[in-house]
Amino acid sequence: MALMTRELKASFAFVERNFNLTKRYWGWEVAFLVYAVAGALAVSLIGAGQGDTRLLMTLVIGAVFWNYLSVVFSFIAETVSWERWEGTLEYTFMAPVRRYAQMLGSTVYAVAFGFVHTVVVLVVLALFFELDLSGANFVTAAVFMVLGSVSFIGIGIMTAILPLMYVERGAQMTFVLQSVLLLISGVYYSVDVLPGWMQVLSNFSPATYVLHGVRAALIDGQGTVSLLGDVWPLLLMGIVFIPLGLWAFGRAERYAKRTGKLKRVG
Amino acid sequence: MTTLLEQPKTEPMRPAAQAPSRTNRVLSDDGVPALLVDHVTKQFVVGGRRKRKQVMAVNDVTIRIRRGEIYGVLGANGSGKSTLIRLVSTLLTLDTGRVEVFGHDIERDEMAVKRVINRVSVDAAFFKKLSPFENLAYAARLYGMEPKAARAEAISILARLGIGEKRLSRPLEQMSRGMQQKVAIARALLTSPTLLLLDEPTTGLDPRSKLDVQTFIEELRDTHDATIVLTTHDLAEADRLCDRIGIINDGRIVVEDTPEALRAKVAEERGLEPTMESVFMTYTGRSLDDDLGDNEDKDDED
Ligand SMILES: Nc1ncnc2c1ncn2[C@@H]1O[C@H](COP(=O)(O)OP(=O)(O)O)[C@@H](O)[C@H]1O
Ligand SMILES: [Mg+2]
């Protein structure tokens, strides 16, 4: 119990630190936010241009929820590469904090940050387009948000090990993985339009189920029960990915400490 | 570099003002050693796919350090100092051998060890855009301290190092290297480590900051219950600060004793001048300058 309290307290170190970093890099944060808003608008305008409200909603939902998932994902996946870049990786790894506490802190901040980020995008889109949300089922959408967050956190942690193991290429691999997720998860289109082999891949991306579920909820007003086909894969991925991610992270850390990958100079 | 620090090495006797603090301190030899490094070896594989080769960074090193002692690891670039420090800091795993910090095995009892050690590296590892206060708050939380108490403590440590409170709220990147290194030392001391690992804390500092840091280490030695491992390739620094010095060459500790004894030994056995230069030459077969050149070449390859 005392141990848990201790670790919980320590995990706040990461929340506070990341908040301070956001504050100090606020210029970049604003720039990225503007980029995210512009990107979401640009894509959604395609729907508006076609005069097709269903297409518009499909694109808006894709833009907003992908924004959320990718912010959460990259925040977590980049914990190691960020610290490597700052030069603090060894300092953090030397501290008497368990890795799950570190991940918990990073995750809490990532979710909070992603939420705020996404609300801004959403508000701008809502002001820009007249969205018809009269038949929307918000509860179901929220359920998918939560489930999606959990599994994305899991993949984020698993991806975070790449920069730990590959000093030079790890951060680039993380970026490529995020791009692949964007492509295969049906963010702006139905996965049915993808070539067969990509459709197979799309089954392994939690984003596929989140976006499908959220669209069904917000456009067609479907309830969670009728979307169980999307719920159980997410549930399963969430349950599997987080422990698997933490385990893999521990292994990767051990590997890095054996081969001298944390830091070499100095 | 010519500073005041170079004076002692031409004289076999230490300046009177410094001698008492060293001899008066009680270094108990019995009981659990502060640090026990027992036949430790660490090897790295370096080079690309084609030119793969193994480097013995630390080779069968055994060191026993008493509580309260300042132990110097003196060696040229690439001799294995940092690797040794990283092994003790749990940042590298041991290939063979065993390390104990106050009786805690670093592998079996990693968390307990992490709580009592801290390390200052050559490059002050900070979040550059964060202020010293923000960096120190992060440190405090990681080590389970109350940030408020930590803040007050940090202010007092930094005041002793000549950094005023006013400077502590601006981004750290705006500070000079010397100041950053002082903040790094303050950060390490904040967590009250009983084993402090200083990896070339003065390398690359301007003479003024270097002197400040050295004086501060002396002060620590006299006022705190900390055991310090200090690596350096500055002969005068090792001579001035350390109770005992181990000279490391190609990953091996080639000789170990008090600075006085080492100097006396080369004078007696080889008829050399009783200086740290003679000591270094004798046990590594090179002058420090030769060796520095060698290793820069070696590092370029990989
Ligand atoms: N992480 C690492 N990966 C590969 N080789 C390393 C690593 N760290 C150190 N080495 C090699 O081990 C040797 C000792 O290095 P180091 O301990 O950094 O020496 P020092 O700190 O005395 O300059 C050098 O040849 C160096 O290139
Ligand atoms: Mg070094």
Phi first, then psi: give them for residue B285, nearest 5 degrees.
Answer: 75, 5
Nearest partner of A202 among A216, A177, A183, A188, judged by Cα: A183
pLDDT digits (tens, 9 = 90+) for B285-302: 877 666 544 444 444 333
Choose the closest CB to B125 out of A6, A91, A257. A91
* Domain carrying residue A222: 9-259
What distance in angstroms lies between residue B248's CA and the mean position of ligand 2's atoms?
A: 12
Residue B12 clears pLDDT 70, i.e. is over it: no
Domain count, chain A: 1
3-class SS of residue B244: strand
Residue B8 clears pLDDT 80, i.e. is over it: no
For the record, the structure tokens of B103 come out as 């009786």
CATH code at position B267: 3.40.50.300
pLDDT digits (tens, 9 = 90+) for A118-158: 999 999 999 999 888 888 999 999 999 999 999 999 999 99
Phi first, then psi: give them for residue B100, nearest 5 degrees.
Answer: -125, 135
Q: How far is A251 from chain B (nearest CA, A)?
A: 13
Q: Supply the pTM of this predicted model.
A: 0.89
Maximum distance among all Cα pairs of chain A, rounded to whole angstroms: 61
pLDDT digits (tens, 9 = 90+) for A206-219: 999 999 999 999 99
Is the distance from CB of A13 to CB of A21 less than 8 angstroms? no
Strand order, beta sheet including B117-120: B117-120, B195-199, B227-232, B70-74, B244-249, B252-257
Residue B152 clears pLDDT 80, i.e. is over it: yes
* Domain carrying residue B189: 4-9+33-295
Phi-psi region of B292 (alpha: psi -120 to 50; beta: other; left: phi over 0): alpha
Helices A99-128 and A26-50 meet at what angle, rounded to 10? 50
pLDDT digits (tens, 9 = 90+) for B101-116: 999 999 999 999 999 9
Residue B23 clears pLDDT 90, i.e. is over it: no
- What residues contact residue B130 under an 8 Å CB cut-off, 6+ apart? A17, A20, A21, A24, B138, B171, B172
Average pLDDT in chain B = 86
Choose the closest CB to B93 out of A6, A93, A254. A254
Residue A193 placed within a domain:
yes
CA atoms within 13 A on the CB side of B264: 8
Residue B140 placed within a domain:
yes
β-pair type (B35-46, B53-65): antiparallel
Residue B301 placed within a domain:
no
Whole-number pLDDT of residue B57: 97
Residue A124 placed within a domain:
yes
Write the single-letter amino acid at A39. G
Residue A22 placed within a domain:
yes
Whole-number pLDDT of residue B61: 98
Nearest partner of A93 among B93, B67, B122, B273, judged by Cα: B93
Residue B283 clears pLDDT 50, i.e. is over it: yes
| Residue A92 contacts B where some CB pair is shorter than 8 Å | yes
Q: pLDDT class for A262, splitting at 50, 70, 90?
A: very high
- C-alpha distances out from residue B107 to A90, A159, B191, B268, Å: 17, 26, 21, 42
Domain count, chain B: 1
β-pair type (B252-257, B96-101): unpaired
Look at A88 and B142 and tell me if their CB atoms are within 8 Å: no
Question: A with B: how many residue pairs have Cβ under 8 Å apart?
Answer: 92
Nearest partner of B233 among B286, B301, B300, judged by Cα: B286
* Cα distance between residue B111 and residue B105, in whole Å: 10
pLDDT digits (tens, 9 = 90+) for B222-278: 887 789 999 999 999 999 999 999 999 999 999 999 999 999 999 999 999 999 999
For the record, the structure tokens of B265 come out as 């030994």
* Cα distance between residue B106 and residue B102, in whole Å: 10
Helices A99-128 and A53-77 meet at what angle, rounded to 10? 160
Phi first, then psi: give them for residue A72, nearest 5 degrees.
Answer: -60, -45
Pocket of ligand 1 (CB under 6 A): A 260, 264; B 44, 46, 55, 57, 75, 77-83, 299
Residue B116 placed within a domain:
yes
How buried is residue B61: exposed, middle or buried, by Cβ count under 10 Å (0-12/13-18/19+)? Answer: buried
Question: How many CB atoms lie under 10 A from the CB of residue B223?
Answer: 9
Residue A16 placed within a domain:
yes
Residue A264 placed within a domain:
no
Residue B26 placed within a domain:
no
Ligand in closest contact with the CA of A264: 1
What distance in angstroms lies between residue B92's CA and the mean position of ligand 2's atoms?
A: 14
* Cα distance between residue A249 and residue A255, in whole Å: 10
Contacts 24+ apart (CB under 8 A), B50-55: B51/B301, B51/B302
Residue B20 placed within a domain:
no
pLDDT digits (tens, 9 = 90+) for B157-195: 899 888 888 889 999 999 999 999 999 999 999 998 999
User: CA Rg, chain A, in Å?
Assistant: 19
- What residues contact residue A87 under an 8 Å CB cut-off, 6+ apart? A263, B123, B125, B126
Residue A130 placed within a domain:
yes
Is the distance from CB of B40 to CB of B61 less than 8 angstroms? yes
